[in-house]
Amino acid sequence: MDLIKLGNIIKERRLELKFSLRKAAKLIGISHNYLSIIEKAHDPRSNSPIKPTFETLKLISEAYGINMNELLQLAGYYEYIKSAKEIYTAEELAKLVPEEYKQAFKKLNMKQIKFVKKMVDEDIDPEALYNVIEKLKDLEKALDKLKSKNED
């Protein structure tokens, strides 16, 4: 968690957009006082660190065009990042799956989905992968036969 860096990124982006605190706060949907506190990373009244909520970070991300995962990570919301990535991966892959395979795709576990995602990301030809798997199965059968011959 790095709330100071988070505040700096938010402030720098606001200045890049040439927004006053009031204009930016109105666009985001929070008070200008709260935005100022977020940018400073602490509440000046109590001098305690301020951690914006997930919802506030989402509003800032949308208003400023900042990557939501970056803001969540800096604020210390790691569990949201992990689940968001997994959901996003599954949703994106589901769009790529032909209609006739959608039912089978829904039965995949997260490890299998990640494997499919890696195949898509690395542009691995599924037919080539299938051929490799079939050759490995043939090799496994041949090794089993050889093993049983040696045992006799």
- Give dist(CA 10, CA 26) in Å, integer: 15
Q: How high does pLDDT run on average in the chain?
A: 78
Q: State the pLDDT at residue 121.
A: 66
pLDDT reported for residue 15: 93
Residue 107 has pLDDT above 60, yes or no: yes
Band of residue 65 on the pLDDT scale cut at 50, 70, 90:
confident
- Comparison of pLDDT for 86 and 144, the residue scoring more: 144
pLDDT attached to residue 146: 83
* Residue 137: per-residue pLDDT: 79
Q: Is pLDDT above 80 for 133?
A: no
pLDDT in tens, 33-64: 989 988 898 888 888 888 888 888 888 888 88
Angle at 74 between CA 68 and CA 79, to 5 degrees: 70
Q: Which fold has domain 3-76?
A: 434 Repressor (Amino-terminal Domain) (1.10.260)
DSSP letters along the chain, please? --HHHHHHHHHHHHHHTT--HHHHHHHHTS-HHHHHHHHHTEETTTTEE----HHHHHHHHHHHT--HHHHHHHHT-HHHHHHHHHHHHHHHHHHHS-GGGHHHHHT--HHHHHHHHHHHHTT--HHHHHHHHHHHHHHHHHHHHHHHHHH-
Domain boundaries, the chain: 3-76, 99-151
